[in-house]
Structure 1
Amino acid sequence: MANPKQIENLLLTEHFRFTPITLIDEIINVVNERAYHATDAIEDSLLNADPSILGFGSRAAAEGRIPDTDDEGKPVFPEAKLEIEEGVHQLETLLENTVDKNFDKLEIYTLRNVLTVPEDLVPWVRLDHYKDLTVPSSNTPAPSPEALQLLRRKLQETQKLHAALLAEKTRNEALLARLRSLLSPRPAASGSSPTHALNAEHSSPTRQNDSSTDAGVFAFLSHGPAAQNLGIVPLPTTTAPSTLHEPISTHTNFTLSQLPALRAQLTALRPYLATTSLPTKSAAAGGAEAAEAARERRDYIESQTRRVLERRGVDVRNGAAVEGRRMNGEEVRALEEIVAAMGGQNREPEEGADEGDRMDTGD
């Protein structure tokens, strides 16, 4: 079981949306960050200051040392940077210890006297999101499975009834719209009166569209001259049926309404048209160079192909073509061996004839 202090912390956490110790930690982190910024500023100012002003020159004179000088003749103290860094580090450590010591006291005081709720008031505290909340007592029996199943069925039937009522509402709205269209005259053409449009409906009913044949059939009951003489208040003209049955006119009107905005956009974009949308001369020159490179490559490939064909004995000067099927390497080697054998047989008789001639004519 949780002790009273844990219950108090849970109550404060639920009220503030964060734990009380989180607030103290944030305060300590902010103070430490400011202390770090202060020590960094002190270190930068000391490193940028002249070491002679900080007393390094006096200490060197007291020790009898002659400091080195830089190119401008100023004395140089290499130990100054190291001592400044060590001193700033000690100062930073001292500040951290001081902050931790004092803010530990702040943490204890705040948790005991500020962020606290008296133990006797904890059971009586009611947070804002607990208002109008009925908490079941311990004596209330747990619902049985049969009761849960009954509630589940009631919920399902309620959802079904809700869906049926929505569907009935949609059907009733459609029926009312159709009845209003029967009592409302068709939209008159521009320049014509409603009475003229009503007379035109009854004089030439065959000219109307089949889909809107029933629209305005009983309009004379509320919009005719007799109805006006009797003081019958006509129904307001609805444009929903015409919108439903005339999509072409609706789209045309919408397109025409957008033309001024399109003209304004075109006027605004016209100055950028020449530099952004159209290809420039450099792009055209690049395309010409690419085409020239492709043509040179084709010429090179064609010349190399001709050279290879000429080496193999194919006449390509007049565009001659070699007829016949493609021969593989084994067939070519077999033909070469046959030609070599035939050439050897022809060469042997010629050599024998030459030797006989030499013997006949020899001395």
Structure 2
Amino acid sequence: MATQKQQENLLLTEHLTFPPISLLDEIINSINLVLYDLVDKLETGLSSTDPSNLGYADQYAAERRAPERDEEGNEVYPEARLEIEEGVQKFETLMMGALDKNFDRLEIWTLRNVLCLPEDVGEWVRLGHYENLTIPQKDPKITPETLHALHRKLLETQKLHAALIAEKTRNDAQIRKLRSLLQPPGPKPGPRSSTSPTKAKDMGMSGEAPFAFLSHTPAAQDLGVQSLPQNGTSASTESRTPLTTHTTFTASQLPYLRELLATLKPHLSSTALPLRSEGGKEDLANERRVYIESQSKRILERRGVDTVDGVEGVIEGPRVRTEEVRGLEDLVQGLGRGREVDEMDVS
């Protein structure tokens, strides 16, 4: 259970949109930054000043000491740097202590007299955004665990929403990229324009939109393909082309066809197909034999084979004529006679 002071701080934080203590912290941090800057500049100024101007020459003279000299003959006071660092550090510590002491008083006084509410008033204060707000009755089912689960669900929903937005952006970019392949570029204004629309369309198809011919040519228009608007123009109304209409109608009839198929399946399983008689089987075999013979005959005739006597036992290739056979026989006989003469001469 929050105390009365905690409830008061919560109310002030909701009203001011920031914790009251954060205002005082910002003031103190700003003063500390100014003090650090002052100390750094003070140390830089003292270190860059000639030690003789800071009274070290008079101190050495009073103590009857001769200062050391460097290679260039300038007087050197070794203890000057060490005393400057120690003095600056003591000054910083003194100033920080004074600031902490006084600003602690400022913080206490401000929280008690300025950033506070009078006693017994916090319970009766109602902020502007709570006006006309109906507070529901306490529900015992709502527990811290359920609120935490709802909070996590809200966070996951926001993440999903952001992911969907990013996916939608990527999809839009991809669609624009694909449309650039199908959309021919719009006419470019210039002093001279071509009077041939076909030439301009061909130039756009072959250049920036290589696939524009799929939807912007006369052949595509004859098939009913809907053409996309050119770049730089917007279509006021979307008209359905015949191809789109037929496709939509066919897709809409698929569920009805499935229902018909489901109703026909029981009848197919219970109904027997008519069987052929024995004579019908012989007729089917004869028809098959005639078909095979006719097709074989046509193929052989294409290759130059004479099929007058039928196609059974025919050797594939051109037919040998009688004159060719007689010529081959005479040639073989002549070769045989020549071989016999050679054998007689050798003997």
After TM superposition, the score normalised by the length of structure 1 is 0.39
Greater relative CO (CA pairs within 8 A, separation 6+): 1
After TM superposition, the score normalised by the length of structure 2 is 0.41
